[in-house]
Amino acid sequence: MPEKAEPKTSNDPSVDRRRLLAGRYRLGPILGSGGAGIVRAGEDTLLRRPVAIKQVRLPPPAVEGDGDATRERAVSRERVLREARVAARLRHPGLVAVYDVIEADGSPWIVMELVEGRSLAEIIRESGRLTPATVARMGVSLAYALEAAHRSGVVHRDVKPGNVLVTPDGQPRLTDFGIAVSEGDPALTSTGIVVGSPAYIPPERARGARVAAPGDVWGLGATMFSAVEGEPPYAGEGALATLAAIVEDRRRPCPHAGPLGPVLAQLLDPDPDRRPSLAQARAMLRQIAASEPYPTREFDASAHADVDPGPDPASARQPAPIRERDVPAEHREVAAPSGPSAADRAAGPARDR
């Protein structure tokens, strides 16, 4: 995508591309931006490899005498740094790697793996809904990735199509672990402003409760629902109405989900205690994925020995590339748009903020 124009202020480090963050990272063009921050292409000049660099947005600086705003900004900065450092310890083929976290210009910066691909949100927008078997295969892989994170004590809390990057060979990668400023906060601020993407906020978070692993199960269900139906499971006239629909479990029907429908209903149960575990979800999804033959590749547990791939690693298949027959017939005419550049595709997860 073309680089977005930004005001050239003294606080904008993109003005001088010769500058190195932390004496090491050179900033490149903007790949995407949203409420959580700005993502740029970059280069690790020490290791001489391309990276993605995200400047995380913090609450605005406090006016003089506003102690509460000052504390909120400080707490937000510490939360981002702490969570990003935890995410940097994760190693799993289904997760976008976090390499480093630094502070510059009063903001945290997250240095991540630069992955070529499009977000699942872009795929849905450009190609329409996907078949139940294709979505089930993606769900199996994402469930393994989330399990690996949970075993390391990390809860994503923002699982949505915009945070699922699909590589050119069809592998889903989950990105943005705990680096948004809103992570861990209630769904609503004291002023009534919705924090996060309303359609993908679990009901417990919409009520202001803490989100644990079952919240990621719900997010997985909402993401899969969107992929198979082409729209999120809950919607209303505005953010607050959408949150009300989620809390009251006024879910849209899913006429295209087929055998995936009952599984989605369980994943989207409004009661976190009644949702299946990720292992149980995988078992159900495998049966649906097996309904359509596809080329498979074994999960390579040996390459990621620090992460237990689960009780049945041999059956953890990565999804096949999204092919024409994965897209329902009425959408196939638009299922193969001309591909964006590598830099464009790398921006996938950042555009849906």
Q: Do 130 and 266 fall within a single domain?
A: yes
Q: Do 136 and 64 fall within a single domain?
A: no
Q: Do 103 and 211 fall within a single domain?
A: no
Round to whole Å and give the CA distance between 293 and 312. Answer: 20
Q: Check which CATH number belongs to the domain holding 91 and give it.
A: 3.30.200.20
Task: Tell me if residue 312 is catalytic.
Answer: no
Round to whole Å and give the CA distance between 156 and 228. Answer: 22
* Per-residue pLDDT tens digits of the chain, which is 353 residues long: 333 334 333 345 444 567 899 999 999 999 887 767 888 999 999 999 999 999 888 776 655 566 676 777 787 777 777 777 777 888 899 999 999 988 888 788 999 999 988 899 999 999 999 999 999 999 999 999 999 999 988 889 899 999 999 998 889 999 887 653 334 444 434 444 445 689 999 999 999 888 899 999 999 999 999 999 999 999 999 999 999 999 999 999 999 999 999 999 999 999 999 999 999 999 999 999 998 765 444 323 223 323 344 443 333 334 444 444 444 444 333 333 334 433 344 444 433 43
The closest alpha carbon to 206, from 163, 177, 175, 248, belongs to 248
pLDDT at 315: 36
Q: Do 79 and 126 fall within a single domain?
A: no
Q: Do 40 and 87 fall within a single domain?
A: yes
Q: Do 98 and 174 fall within a single domain?
A: no
Q: Do 241 and 141 fall within a single domain?
A: yes
Q: Check which CATH number belongs to the domain holding 152 and give it.
A: 1.10.510.10
Q: Do 171 and 262 fall within a single domain?
A: yes
pTM assigned to the model: 0.72
Q: Do 129 and 67 fall within a single domain?
A: no
Final residue in a domain of this structure, among 244, 278, 295: 295
Domain holding 204, by residue range, is 117-295
The active-site residue out of 44, 68, 105, 158 is 158
Amino acid occupying residue 102? I
Tell me whether residue 348 is in a domain.
no
pLDDT at 178: 62
Q: Do 100 and 202 fall within a single domain?
A: no
Torsion (CA) 290, 302, 160, 80 in degrees, nearest 10: 170
Q: Per the structure, how many domains does the chain have?
A: 2
Q: Do 123 and 90 fall within a single domain?
A: no
Final residue in a domain of this structure, among 114, 134, 163: 114
Tell me whether residue 261 is in a domain.
yes
